[in-house]
Amino acid sequence: MIIDQYFSEPNGRISFTRDQGSNFAKQMANDFNPLHNADAKRFCIPGDLLFAVILAKYGISQHMEFVFSGMVTAGVELVLPEASQELHINDTDGREYLRVKRSGETVRAESLTQNLTQSYVEFSGQTFPHILVPLLAEQHVMISPDRPMVIYQSMTIDLDRLDISNPLLQGDYNHLEINGKRGSVELAFHLEDDGEIVGRGKKHMLLSGLRPYNEDTVASAITIYNDSKKAFAAR
């Protein structure tokens, strides 16, 4: 699988190093969120990497709901339960990090799994600045440039059928609700295969530490973000 290099399986459990999590974010998702920098003090494993591991280990179901309940850090060992309609992904101490609900038919097809994974993480990686900045600007707020907190909360995918090969995610609409210094973002999308809509889904994120919008500060944050991309590509 294309994600094998981004996790390890000590004693049959799943774990990640800082470099594995950071490289997945940058190489597969084109995501340069500072929380995923290998040297970040508040480093966490990308939620999209957990999503990718679940698809690789359990297959693709027609209906899938992912709810993130904790931030996975480097070295945490996750125990994968037996396949069932509801999966609780806990560490060895019983702390839950992810809850997955599945229903409908399920397929284990490596090519489809890789294509759906790649398409989803590429779509997800466009969140900043392409999606978030315009949404925030409309409501005259911005993320703290010093401590940007954008947390993956949940995601659902509903597929009409599973006899598909290369589903591509296309954005439908984006919605932001502000409550003081916090925000809730909903990104809706659909999936196309060979020009036909075969599914739809939504991703939810939580924002914290919002502050009044400042165009110069936002422009600087985007420049820093893009410079990080260039520096990584030049390695």
**132-163 tens-digit pLDDT:** 999 999 999 999 887 778 889 999 999 999 99
pLDDT digits (tens, 9 = 90+) for 155-206: 999 999 999 999 999 999 999 999 999 999 999 999 999 999 999 999 999 9
Q: In terms of residues, how long is the chain? A: 235
Sign of CA dihedral 78, 83, 88, 92: negative
Backbone angles phi, psi at 217, to 5 degrees: -65, -40
The encoded tokens of residue 15 equal: 């774990």
Write the DSSP symbol of residue 129.
Answer: I
Residue 3: pLDDT band with limits 50, 70, 90: very high
Q: Helix or strand or coil: residue 112? A: helix
Q: CATH assignment of 4-233?
A: 3.10.129
**Any idea where the domains of the chain sit in the sequence?**
4-233
Query: Please, what is the end-to-end C-alpha distance for the chain in angstroms?
Result: 24
The pTM score is 0.93
